[in-house]
Structure 1
Amino acid sequence: MHEPNRAIPAYAEPDWAQVARIPVAECGEALCSLRLAPALRVYPAYRHLGIPEAVEDCLVRREVFERLLRAAAHLPAGLALVVLDGWRPIAVQQHLYRTLETAMALHHPQADAATLQRLTRQFVSPPSRDPQAPSPHLTGGAVDVTLCDVQGRWLDMGSRFDEVGPRSFSAHYESAAADDAAALAIRDRRRLLHDAMLEAGFANLPSEWWHYDYGDQLWAWHRGRPAALYGPTAPPSLEDLWRQQLAERFADPT
């Protein structure tokens, strides 16, 4: 049951060094397409923004799919869950990180490399396919979500998706003034989303109200789990599928 007055805690930024040390016990779940799920609204944001090599669907691990359905069912009548991004190709991760780091450098000309990395990492993880320390979206366990009404009108969540600034922090509107009706409405929408996603087993990245994790190292860090379930993955190519089928067909029964 949703508690409309449950505040979003102002969690500290993850300790990224500790996150990267959490072991990955890859469970082998496949990626699934969300495009045909009637309970979800799917809008692959980076494809619509024209980011090179962005996929035209939102792909997630099978268990993440099931938990998104649970989160959608937890929302009040009249609201729907919009999925903006899931699994992300390494080329897209590289593009996002490089673009934001360049913008940060222009905005903070005196910042050293470590400071630029810290400022950039609040909103985009460094690209990594390392099996023991992958970027969250490369695992298929990280998702970006928002809310819309039943007609598909997006709700005002207080900042744009991927906005780099204090308004994007999940708990930003928890300090809204009692007489600021617009800010209080945004606070309550964020609470609705946060509550639905956490009830479904996800963990939230504190610097991004839209970013949630299940099964990856960030999820394990937030939830105190001994290991992550998902390492880096990718959709199988047609060649991979043919090889698998032929291997199964001609496997030695002995």
Structure 2
Amino acid sequence: MTDSTLRPIADIADPQWEAIAAIPIVDDGMPLHALSLAAPALRVHPIYHALGVSGAVPECWAREAVYRRLLMVARSLPEGLGLVVLDAWRPYVVQRHFYDTLLRMVETRYADLDESDLRAMTRAFVSPPSDQPECPSPHLTGGAVDVALCDDDGMLLEMGSAFDEARPASHTVHFEHHAHDATTRTYRDRRRALYHTMWDAGFANLPSEWWHYSYGDQMWAWYRRESRAVFGPSSPDTLEKRWQRSLGLGD
């Protein structure tokens, strides 16, 4: 038993999206880095590409500050636990697909709810797609990451709900209130280890998803009480962009 598993996770306030969207962004210009280069300290499994999601990229890209903090987390977790990155920078087209798909399912399942409630339920698990400079989708910034825990052999550990599972058990603090046997206490302790190690490295957690953390985006700024976000919309470098820069053609 370690300190990070002994410390409960306090209830996390629900995000106030209007206030978050109003936080100014002053992008520091950090490029995206391929997280697979951090091996073997960090395990990377681009899950949406592996699942065949159209438009999903075969690499997990993140800003340098995120890259380095994830390495810090991987090296600070309790013995026997490893960090796996499942998703990071996400193209707009993929975000659009996820949001529209889940919204349609929620509308089908809860046909009696009004539009605002349906969209709120959807937003708890998928942010509305936006590539606007003043309020981009978190994953478009390169500051948001989806992570999980594994054992020394790289096997993903059970966390009490599957990654991307849209149900109450996915809320980060769920097992702080529903740990009634050895199995659920194990889920609780694993979430504690992940949460506290990520928080201590400077990340913020989306409370409806035990796997979603961010650094540098607007949600991070709101939870960490920063006056501004440092990451706006971004994208991996391309050969065309390098040629443009070398020829002085700008963007």
> Who wins on radius of gyration, i.e. which is larger?
1
Please tell me the residue identity of whatever aligns with 1:68.
Answer: L
Pairing of 1:25-104 with structure 2 (within 5 A)? 25-37=26-38, 38-104=40-106
Matched with 1:109 is 111
Distance 2:116 2:21 in 1: 17
Letter in 2 for 1:242: W
Mark the CA change 1:177 to 1:152 in structure 2 (over 3 Å): closer, same or farther: closer
Partner SS for 2:4: coil
3-state SS in 2 of match to 1:161: coil
Q: TM-score, normalised by structure 1?
A: 0.95
Give ranges in structure 1 of 5+ residues lacking alignment: 249-254
Q: CA RMSD in A?
A: 1.2
Structure 2: distance between partners of 1:8 and 1:220: 20
CA distance in 2, matches of 1:2, 1:125: 33
- Whole-angstrom distance in 2 between the partners of 1:195 and 1:206: 13
Number of matched pairs: 247
Report if aligned partners of 2:217, 2:230 keep a CA contact under 8 Å in 1. yes
- Deviation, 1:247, is 2.4
- Is the contact between residue 2 and residue 196 of structure 1 (CA under 8 Å) also seen in structure 2? no
Give 2:17's aligned residue. 16
Q: Give deviations 1:102-160, integer Å, cap 9, x for gaps.
A: 00000101122211110000000000001010100000000000000111111110000
Distance in 2 between the 1:70 and 1:36 partners? Answer: 15
Question: Which structure 2 segments of 5+ residues have no match?
Answer: none
Structure-2 separation of matches of 1:137 and 1:177: 31
SS of the residue corresponding to residue 248 of structure 2 reads: helix
- Aligned equivalents of 1:144, 1:2: Cα separation in 2: 23
- Residue in 2 that maps onto 1:160: 162
Number of the residue aligned with 1:133: 135
d(CA) in 2 for partners of 1:29 and 1:221? 20
Mean CA deviation greater in 42-51 or 162-171: 42-51
Residues 21 and 135, structure 2, Cα contact 8 Å, conserved in 1: yes
Counterpart code for 2:176 = E
The whole-number CA distance in structure 1 between the counterparts of 2:106 and 2:14 is 18
Counterpart of 2:172 (choices 170, 173, 183) is: 170
The runs of at least 4 aligned residues of structure 1 exceeding 6 Å deviation read none
Look up the match of 2:197: 196
| Kept after mapping to 2: 8 A contact 1:204/1:213 | yes
Quick one: which amino acid aligns to residue 26 of structure 1? D
- Distance in structure 2 (CA, Å) of the matches to 1:11 and 1:79: 24
